Structure 1
Amino acid sequence: MPVPSLAGVHKRPLLRDNVFESIRNAIVDGTFEPGERLKDAELEAWLGVSRTPIREALLRLERAGLVVALPGKATIVAPCDPASTLSTQQVVAGLHELAARLAVPTLAEEHLAAMAGANARFERALQAADVESALRADDDFHAVFVTVSGNPVLRDLLEQTTPVLRRVERMRFGSFAARESVAQHADIIRLARLGDAEAAARACRENWLSLRFTSAEDPA
């Protein structure tokens, strides 16, 4: 496993959550590729921490579906598997559907404006093929419902499950196909403005289910 180019940037030991987030982000952004072996010693050198928080982070990542522990052998980055991705997608779509249903009745104009602004940034990022900015804007858009819903369990579950979809989103947001999400977002805002919580919730679910798994063998 090649040590990421970020090696040495951590000047003091990281908190456990920071260790988890650093490894998770390296998996999601492709620094650690599917099937790559994650070696404790190299992770220690990169992050500047002991083996204990690294093992704890890897256990969390295994539960999240981002790594696979091969008993007595190694821990590897989980492959981009269509079946497991679909299972996660269905859960994430359902969680966002619930967030919308809870949030719409109490939305204020400032929340709708924040969603519209995020969607505008999302569209500009897609046009510029700026995948990182597109992901951030998409996160900002959906975070409005999650925050306004007032349900911390929803937030925690999404933090655990959404990263599995990030690798798929990186492929999609770099393609023309992602632009249909701009129109879907606009329709969600329209329905939310009308106060139609059920329709907005269904639209949110469909927006997440429209994400399609692709691979090098299937560029569609």
Structure 2
Amino acid sequence: MTALEPVPRRLLRDRAYDALLEAIVSGELSPGQKLSDAQLAEQLGLSRAPVRQALARLADERLVVSKPQSYTRVAPVVEQEIRDALAVVRALHALAVREAVPRLTEAHLTRMRDANDAFVRALDAEDASAAIAADDALHAVPIEVCGNRALAETIGRYTPLLRRLERRRFSGAAARASAARHDALIAACAAGATDEAVELSGEIWGGLELTG
């Protein structure tokens, strides 16, 4: 099974985006690979319009590069761009945690615990895509609770650029450290220990740092 299979004809632009993002993150579409909207549309079982819209969004997120009337390619991994994005995302997640901790309810904490349980199950199954989804679900709770729309939109804007880092980390043994840090973060949130929770959030996102 590959990411580039026909998708249901609903929310076509978003479905095309999700499929193409997964293919880029997994390496099925490799850096520098030329992209044809017609070919991708055929693979996905879609018309060219939603595929073009998805490619435009990926270009805005710097995962695709294009030159009008010339080419569209998967973007190379540019380390400085990723470091810049990571610095922004890390800082904003810490801010979300700081604002959210005093407002978290037991229901919110349960969602975070359930997400980390799903994260561990995904690691056990060696399913990096499911691990990323579970990680997203956990960190979405403080973002939602803090209620800062600009923060949420900025995190959403820059997170896709980090997906290849997340997949690499969640495919290796180091991912177990993320699960342990998640547990510690949830415990700090439950205790109302805001400063500790903020520090742990920084450690979690700091674990994605580029090496080499």
* Cα shift readout 1:33-78 (whole Å, capped 9, x = no counterpart): 1111111221232345554443333222112111112455311111
Q: Structure 1 residue 177 and structure 2 residue 174: aligned?
A: yes
Q: Is the 8 A contact 2:169 2:175 kept in 1?
A: yes
Cα pair distance change 1:195/1:15, threshold 3 Å:
same
Other-structure match for 1:69: 66
Other-structure match for 1:30: 27
> Which residues of structure 1 form unaligned runs of 5+?
none
Other-structure match for 1:153: 150
Q: Which amino acid in structure 2 is aligned with residue 157 of structure 1?
A: T
Other-structure match for 1:96: 93
Other-structure match for 1:43: 40
Q: Structure 1 residue 16 and structure 2 residue 9: aligned?
A: no
Task: Give the aligned CA root-mean-square deviation in angstroms.
Answer: 2.4
Q: How do 1:67-216 and structure 2 match up within 5 A? A: 67-70=64-67, 73-213=70-210
C-alpha distance in structure 1 between counterparts of 2:102 and 2:162, whole Å: 28
C-alpha distance in structure 2 between counterparts of 1:13 and 1:115, whole Å: 29
C-alpha distance in structure 1 between counterparts of 2:128 and 2:3, whole Å: 20
C-alpha distance in structure 1 between counterparts of 2:50 and 2:137, whole Å: 29
TM-score by length of 1: 0.82
C-alpha distance in structure 2 between counterparts of 1:5 and 1:112, whole Å: 32
Range with greater deviation from structure 2 (140-149 or 39-48)? 39-48
Q: Is the 8 A contact 2:82 2:161 kept in 1?
A: yes
How far did residue 12 of structure 1 move? 4.1
C-alpha distance in structure 1 between counterparts of 2:16 and 2:163, whole Å: 19
C-alpha distance in structure 1 between counterparts of 2:48 and 2:124, whole Å: 43
C-alpha distance in structure 2 between counterparts of 1:204 and 1:11, whole Å: 36
C-alpha distance in structure 2 between counterparts of 1:14 and 1:117, whole Å: 27
Range with greater deviation from structure 2 (109-118 or 173-182)? 109-118
* Number of matched pairs: 211
Cα pair distance change 1:53/1:113, threshold 3 Å:
closer
Q: Which amino acid in structure 2 is aligned with residue 203 of structure 1?
A: L
> Which residues of structure 2 form unaligned runs of 5+?
none
C-alpha distance in structure 2 between counterparts of 1:183 and 1:102, whole Å: 23
How far did residue 27 of structure 1 move? 1.7
How far did residue 81 of structure 1 move? 2.6
1:129 alignment partner, SS class: coil
Structure 1 segments of 4 or more deviating over 6 A? none
C-alpha distance in structure 2 between counterparts of 1:111 and 1:14, whole Å: 28
